[in-house]
């Protein structure tokens, strides 16, 4: 799992059938070690996250489990909205 910040939406009028009805969001990874480099991914939104929110993103086969569709071509899913965290 990674922590990210939702920075936008993705609209695709043509896509694989199993993606129909899914909300796609652009998530910027939050990595304190990245030294200013910004990396973004597209993730399926399972929790109705909004732009600007910090989120938990599940990757790989765990993302497909969150969708409950093992056949969907998905490798990232937003599975939680972060209310707060402690870093030490």
pLDDT tens figures, 4-29:
999 999 999 999 999 999 999 999 99
The pLDDT of residue 29 is 94
pLDDT for residue 78: 98
Q: Which one has a higher pLDDT value, 44 or 71?
A: 44
CA separation, residue 60 to residues 19, 25, 72, 82 (Å)? 16, 16, 11, 20
- The domain locations on the chain are 2-81
Query: For domain 2-81, which CATH number applies: 3.40.50.2300, 3.40.50.2000, 3.40.50.2020, 2.40.50.220?
Result: 2.40.50.220
| pTM, two decimal places | 0.90
In which band, very low, low, confident or very high, does the pLDDT at 67 lie, cut at 50, 70 and 90?
confident
């Amino acid at each position: 799992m990674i922590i990210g910040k939702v920075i936008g939406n993705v609209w695709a009028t043509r896509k694989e059938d199993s993606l129909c009805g899914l909300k796609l969001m652009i998530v910027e990874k939050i990595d304190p070690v990245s030294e200013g480099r910004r990396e973004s991914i597209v993730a399926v939104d399972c929790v109705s996250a909004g732009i600007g929110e910090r989120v938990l993103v599940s990757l790989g086969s765990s993302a497909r489990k969150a969708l409950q569709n093992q056949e969907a071509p998905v490798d990232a899913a937003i599975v939680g909205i972060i209310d707060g965290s402690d870093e030490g």
